[in-house]
């Protein structure tokens, strides 16, 4: 409220030749009552329900400029609907600016308080996590009305490049948007502007990705007034190391980045994990933007906030949960991605369909395996991960389902001394989990056959060459095994996957034997 959204919305609509709607006015007209009257007669919940219905209704329409009530984007479902049907821009200013604009009139039921300034500040604090999840932000205190209108028009035209915008809700600390589309990297500057960051932004990338996309990212940032600098590290898993962590700290210090600076991770999962962990710890934490450039990073590692580095003793032994400010997945970057890397991402994509998108699994089952990596496909897959991490942002339980195929997968990676790719290992692991589930009468053999077909058609491995005894020993020693007891994620049905199963070791060995290549 008080940020000028109705005035700005009207002017923007005029400039674009579109119809303008203010959701508060629509509700008042339809109900024949003012909002204060609705609050008084029926309570806030009744009003929010009207808002929710209107949000759904308007999402079916096109060619509108809509000013929403300030409470509408607080509801995560409303946010999802708004993001998927248009470009969402938050106008903001300070609590004192808001108060000086709205005054103390009775038409603002939420401001009925003895200290309105305190009340506005409190409301903003409560709502900030939801507002932070909106993709574009415009500070209305630093511009006059015309300036705000121009900025909104600029954003609206640039945002056409984003095909899919999702929103991840994180309790307490705030949510973040995930924009997926061909060319979205050029939106980076627009999306970072007005988020309260200082000018120095570090772009971390690797020696393969830098030459391809760094120029685009730096120019998008410079155009919007940032003073970016880049830190390039050698491509490959070996860079997720304490030495590269140290190098990045030094690079950030040399670049004079302070606490309100931001780190942009431009690359695959290695860059996302390393740059993310550096951002989580540099000066006790600075903002992080994930710009994934591999399929695996787009559908998996860039979302959920897990970051970390490896130690000589093992992978991912040091880490932190660091939620990004935003995720920009530019599908145009996937064009030159080596096929082996595409397959690695496909393993996670297929895993997501088993966990939470049966319809997409069926489509994959019926396809000939030649898939185009469209924003829609990536969005469907990452949506499953988003749903799971929203239920369990700090990995206390439900998130374990994402480890489907990983119990056997990790053991295969270890036994192969990491010569077997992670995606292939997870693929064989999923087949093993499927067969164990079927042998325990949890799911049908048809489902497991379908899973094998989909994985094999993508070119992923579904058999291994290792001794089941060796694999079982590695599994028992894994950091995720509790007291030597190996836990599996098992499949009851497509979309119905359960973590925490302790499986009879003899059955595990039998299934691993069945899947051994020589059989």
Ligand X SMILES: NC(=O)c1ccc[n+]([C@@H]2O[C@H](COP(=O)([O-])OP(=O)(O)OC[C@H]3O[C@@H](n4cnc5c(N)ncnc54)[C@H](O)[C@@H]3O)[C@@H](O)[C@H]2O)c1
Chain residues binding ligand X by CB under 6 A are 206, 208-209, 212, 235-237, 240, 267-271, 273, 293-294, 296-297, 300-301, 304, 306, 316, 333-334, 336-337, 341, 344
Is the CB of residue 196 less than 8 Å from the CB of residue 208?
A: no
167 vs 341, beta carbon nearer ligand X = 341
Q: Which two tokens stand for residue 489?
A: 């994620």
CB of 421 to ligand X, least distance (A): 8
- Measure the CA–CA gap between 115 and 126, rounded to whole angstroms: 17
Catalytic residue among 240, 406, 414, 464: 406
Known active-site residue 463: no
341 vs 438, beta carbon nearer ligand X = 341
71 vs 269, beta carbon nearer ligand X = 269
CB of 351 to ligand X, least distance (A): 11
Catalytic residue among 108, 200, 352, 385: 385
Known active-site residue 399: yes
Is the CB of residue 148 less than 8 Å from the CB of residue 138?
A: yes
Catalytic residue among 51, 224, 232, 348: 348
CB of 323 to ligand X, least distance (A): 12
Q: Which two tokens stand for residue 214?
A: 């760094």
105 vs 312, beta carbon nearer ligand X = 312
Long-range contacts for 193-198 (Cβ within 8 Å, ≥24 apart)?
193/137, 193/224, 193/225, 194/92, 194/137, 194/138, 194/139, 195/137, 195/287, 195/325, 196/260, 197/226, 197/260, 197/261, 197/262, 197/287, 198/257, 198/258, 198/260, 198/261
CB of 29 to ligand X, least distance (A): 47
> Which residue carries 């500040």 as its tokens?
121
The distance from CA 248 to its chain's CA centroid, rounded to whole angstroms, is 24
Is the CB of residue 463 less than 8 Å from the CB of residue 515?
A: yes
Is the CB of residue 440 less than 8 Å from the CB of residue 508?
A: no
Is the CB of residue 131 less than 8 Å from the CB of residue 92?
A: yes
Maximum distance among all alpha carbons in the chain? 80
211 vs 225, beta carbon nearer ligand X = 211
Q: Is 159 helix (H, G, I), strand (E, B) or coil?
A: helix
Q: Which residue is nearest to ligand X (CB)?
A: 269
Known active-site residue 306: yes
Known active-site residue 410: yes
CB of 111 to ligand X, least distance (A): 42
Known active-site residue 348: yes
CB of 209 to ligand X, least distance (A): 5
Q: Which two tokens stand for residue 275?
A: 């740059």
Three-class secondary structure assignment of 430-488: HHHHHHHHHHCCCCCHHHHHHHHHHHHHCCCCCCECCCHHHHHHHHHHCCCCECCECEE
Catalytic residue among 62, 172, 284, 519: 284
- Measure the CA–CA gap between 289 and 221, rounded to whole angstroms: 12
55 vs 402, beta carbon nearer ligand X = 402
96 vs 238, beta carbon nearer ligand X = 238
Of the candidates 353, 10, 262, 12, the residue with the CA atom closest to the CA atom of residue 159: 12
Known active-site residue 284: yes
CB of 308 to ligand X, least distance (A): 7
Known active-site residue 395: yes
Q: Catalytic site residues?
A: 284, 306, 348, 385, 395, 399, 403, 406, 410, 422
């Amino acid at each position: 409220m008080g940020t000028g959204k109705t005035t700005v919305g009207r002017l923007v609509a005029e400039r674009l030749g579109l119809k303008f709607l203010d959701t508060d006015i629509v509700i008042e007209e339809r109900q024949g009552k003012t909002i204060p009257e609705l609050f008084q007669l029926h309570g806030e919940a009744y009003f929010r329900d009207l808002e929710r219905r209107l949000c759904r209704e308007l999402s079916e329409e096109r060619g509108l400029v809509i000013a929403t009530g300030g409470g509408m984007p607080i509801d995560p479902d409303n946010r999802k609907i708004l993001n998927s049907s248009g470009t969402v821009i938050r106008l903001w200013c300070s609590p004192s600016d808001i108060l000086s604009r709205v005054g103390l009139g009775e038409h603002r039921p939420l401001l009925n308080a003895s200290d309105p300034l305190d009340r506005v500040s409190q409301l903003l604090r409560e709502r900030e996590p939801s507002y932070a999840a909106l993709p574009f932000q415009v500070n209305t205190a630093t511009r006059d009305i015309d300036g705000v209108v121009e900025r909104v028009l600029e954003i609206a035209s640039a945002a056409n490049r984003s095909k899919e915008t999702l929103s991840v809700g994180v309790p307490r600390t705030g949510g973040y948007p995930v924009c997926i589309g061909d060319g979205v990297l050029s939106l980076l500057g627009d999306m970072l502007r007005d988020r309260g960051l200082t000018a120095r932004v570090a772009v971390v990338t690797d020696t393969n990705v830098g030459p391809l996309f760094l120029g685009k990212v730096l120019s998008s940032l410079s155009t919007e007034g940032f003073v970016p600098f880049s830190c390039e590290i050698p491509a490959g898993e070996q860079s997720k190391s304490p030495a590269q962590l140290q190098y990045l700290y030094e690079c950030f210090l040399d670049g004079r980045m302070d606490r309100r600076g931001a780190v942009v991770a431009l690359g695959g999962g290695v860059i996302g994990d390393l740059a993310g962990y550096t951002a989580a710890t540099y000066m006790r934490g600075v903002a992080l933007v994930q710009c994934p450039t591999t399929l695996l990073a787009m559908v998996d590692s860039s979302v959920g906030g897990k970051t970390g580095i490896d130690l000589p003793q093992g992978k991912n032994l040091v880490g932190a949960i660091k939620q990004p400010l935003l995720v920009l997945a530019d599908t145009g970057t996937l064009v030159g991605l080596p096929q082996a890397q595409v397959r690695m991402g496909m393993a996670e994509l297929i895993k997501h369909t088993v966990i939470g998108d049966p319809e997409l699994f069926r489509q994959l089952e019926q396809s000939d395996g030649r898939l185009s990596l469209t924003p829609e496909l990536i969005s469907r897959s990452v949506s499953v991960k988003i749903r799971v991490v929203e239920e369990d942002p700090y990995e206390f339980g439900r998130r374990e389902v994402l480890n489907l195929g990983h119990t056997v997968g990790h053991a295969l990676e270890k036994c192969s001394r990491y010569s077997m790719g992670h995606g292939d290992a997870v693929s064989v692991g999923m087949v093993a989990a499927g067969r164990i589930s079927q042998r325990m009468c949890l799911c049908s053999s048809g489902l497991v056959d379908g899973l094998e077909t989909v994985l094999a058609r993508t070119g992923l491995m579904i058999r291994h060459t290792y001794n089941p005894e060796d694999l079982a020993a590695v599994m028992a020693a894994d950091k995720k095994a509790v007291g030597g007891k190996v836990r599996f994620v098992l499949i009851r049905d497509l979309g119905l996957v359960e973590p925490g199963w302790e499986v009879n070791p003899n059955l595990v060995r039998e299934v691993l034997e069945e899947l051994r290549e020589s059989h």
